[in-house]
Amino acid sequence: MPTEPAAPEQQLLPGVRYRPTTRQRLVPHTVDGKTRMIEEDYEAMVPVPPRDWDQAVTTAVTIAAGLLVTVAVVWSVASIGDLLARAVVAPIAYLAAGAFALAWVVCMALEWLARYDPARAAGPRTAGNWALAVDMAIVAAHGWVEEALYVGLAGAAVSAVGKGMWSTVMRHQARPLPVRTQKWLQDEEAEIAARLALGARTRHLARIKGQAAVYAPPTPTALTQDSDRDTAGQLSPTVLSAVRAVLATLPDLSHDDVLSHLDQLGLAYDETAVLAVLDNEQDSQDSRSGAGLSRVVPPTQTVTESVRTALSSGVRDKDSVVSYVHQIHGSGVPRATIVRLFNRELEKSA
């Protein structure tokens, strides 16, 4: 068994602090003559970066500004809540007082989120200043009601100092972008927002289409299309399109002529499936052409089903079957079609 390679000796630089850490490496290991690369833990010395005093000071200043905002909110809620408690019960009064203080705090948060877009940040900044002015005015009014106006003014100054310090910290940490970069970022955000909106509207349309399909009653036309779809599913889309194109161009062609056209196009097809599609198309045309005639059978019965009914009744004469079908579906059904269906169904029953 070969010996595993030892970890290379790590060179430590003088004057640099290091700390041990566990890392992984792949080493070859052989058992019964078969070698695999396995993962092995080893100890390494990682240099410790020097303390970033700039980041430490920034963090401390941010925490201090957050504490000032907290103090300002608590003072405002206590002062305004005590003022409103003269008219309503204390719990409701203090809840309402929180709305005044939280209004400019929320605006500051929105201003921070829009720090890379000065145009969007201007709105929250203006709204925050107005909310702060209202908050300070009510705090000062509370001091005046309590006959201690100086206390009210000092409390209002606490809110101003808290917001001012937080705004200063935000301006210090903000990194203004070049004008072109701002416009690129705006276009990118607009494109992403458009895709999200399009996806949401597409899902909404799919949902309401599904609801409409559930509540809409099925129509005879839809039922006929469903039966046609089952037969057409046996054909490839290319052959099915070719069959319907031939019928649309030359509607009076016989089934054999349609098959000849498919042969001329060089398409591979299943003759039984094609004939079934042609029968369905013919039955649909017959049903539409004879819509005004009286029927002695349900309207959904096709010419093929009428021929089958005649055969099942013991009729084997072609002329009798043709006359029977014409009585049911009208004289618009071609005799050649009835004879062809008669021959096909007779062969099946033989």
In a domain, 184, yes or no: no
| Tally of structural domains, the chain | 4
- The set of residues, in sequence order, having a beta carbon less than 8 Å from that of 36 and lying 6+ positions away, is 28, 29, 30
What are the structure tokens assigned to 120, written together?
Answer: 């969007």
Clarify whether residues 99 and 23 are in a common domain. Answer: no
215 CB contacts (<8 Å, ≥6 apart)?
none
- Say if 192 falls within a structural domain: no
H/E element, 217: none
Structural domain including 332 reads 301-350
Residue 11 has pLDDT above 80, yes or no: no
Does the pTM surpass 0.75? The reply is no
CA neighbor of 305 nearest in space, from 278, 345, 339, 271: 345
Asked if residue 84 and residue 149 are part of one domain, the reply reads yes
Asked if residue 133 and residue 35 are part of one domain, the reply reads: no
Whether the predicted pLDDT of 130 surpasses 90 = yes
167 lies in a domain?
yes
Residue range 44-75, pLDDT digits in tens: 888 888 777 888 888 888 888 889 888 888 99
Complete DSSP assignment for 9-63: PPPPPTT--EEEEEEEEEEEEEETTEEEEEEEEEEEEEEPPPP-HHHHHHHHHHH
- Same domain for 57 and 36, yes or no, is no
Contact between residue 84 and residue 143 where contact means Cβ atoms under 8 Å apart: no
Can you give the pLDDT at residue 229?
43
In a domain, 104, yes or no: yes
Alpha-carbon span 72 to 68, nearest angstrom: 6
Distance between CA atoms of residues 17 and 199, nearest Å: 53
Q: What is the mean pLDDT of residues 255-259?
A: 72
**Does residue 279 form part of some domain?**
yes
Residues 74 and 42 reside in one and the same domain: no
Of 32, 50, 68, the residue that ends a domain is 50
Same domain, 87 and 13: no
What is the rounded CA–CA span in Å between residue 247 and residue 279?
Answer: 12
User: What span, in angstroms and rounded, lies between the C-alpha atoms of 321 and 309?
Assistant: 10
